[in-house]
Chains A and B, each alone.
Chain A
């Protein structure tokens, strides 16, 4: 049983990413279940996807402290979901923060660095991905999810390989977006390799 939590903000593509991971597992003959916790917000709200791969799962949601990997699409959301992480689990996180839509109304300043520092101070395995450079190279922030997936499968934690991810993209993503998605996956994988992980 492998548990992977994807934490982000509405509009970042967490839900699609979770479906692709589950699709990879199903293609390998492994049972996979997913579930989302989404509030009332249509855009900009917290979105958490739970992906559970393997036998003997019952709850649609991952219990606290049972996630092998947290993919943080956004530093603050990675911190928010940290209670789900196993003691020896890994957090893979995008360095790019998304300010809450209400930040302008309050005076709270939200800094990505503070979140990343906190993650590192907790002593868990943290891999920070410089998604800004990947987004720049691809020309759109819409591929953030693919870049993170490329990095995530390359950790080896999920039991899913890059080739599995590439075939599910060919299977599920409309042709006109495929090339760009493959590129983002590759850049994500390279970003991880650059970390020496």
Chain B
């Protein structure tokens, strides 16, 4: 379906009648193609059919799930994971045990970190809290399910980390479905919530993973989201964003740059201080 701007406005307006379905501040190019993609999967042929279909909670969940973009593969950008393993984990603030994945799509990010925590002997020091507005996505993450199609690239990325274990030792395969073994996800919990309406409490997260998520937001929503994340971080906590994303300018002073290429930031000990190291 080729959606015009007016169609998109009509669609986002109908969706925003429901909780956690306000997509009006997503970028236009994203909505144009992703709504077409989701509508095709859901067999929706005309925009005016949408309000009726939206009354069905199962339809709404499938729509949210289809609009959610996978962070592609596990250990995407291996250099980021290497830095987390070698630099960030040894310097985490002690006052929080929470690692937050505000908009986890397919588990690729949280499972990657879980494996790294295991290999660092730190699994039981942390709780990995994910949020997703889609029940389908949440259940899949809580089951440790990974996309079989990504298995090869996951494995290649893992090898680039120069880890000692065998990638396959972390997973079980049954009926073509690959799942992270329960032992390695005992500290993972996915909550069926949208972080924008239910963010983590202020000063409560030691590390936030928010890679390649603001890509789909417009400038306004990007600012709103990053402000929530900054508030939720404890002082000295870390924020990791996608290598092609930028922090909004009004928040730059709240962070020190740990690695400019891999976009790893640390919330400065004194907010708004320009004299940090």
Asked whether A and B interact, the reply is no
Where the two chains meet, the residues of B that have a C-beta atom closer than 8 Å to any C-beta of A are none
Where the two chains meet, the residues of A that have a C-beta atom closer than 8 Å to any C-beta of B are none
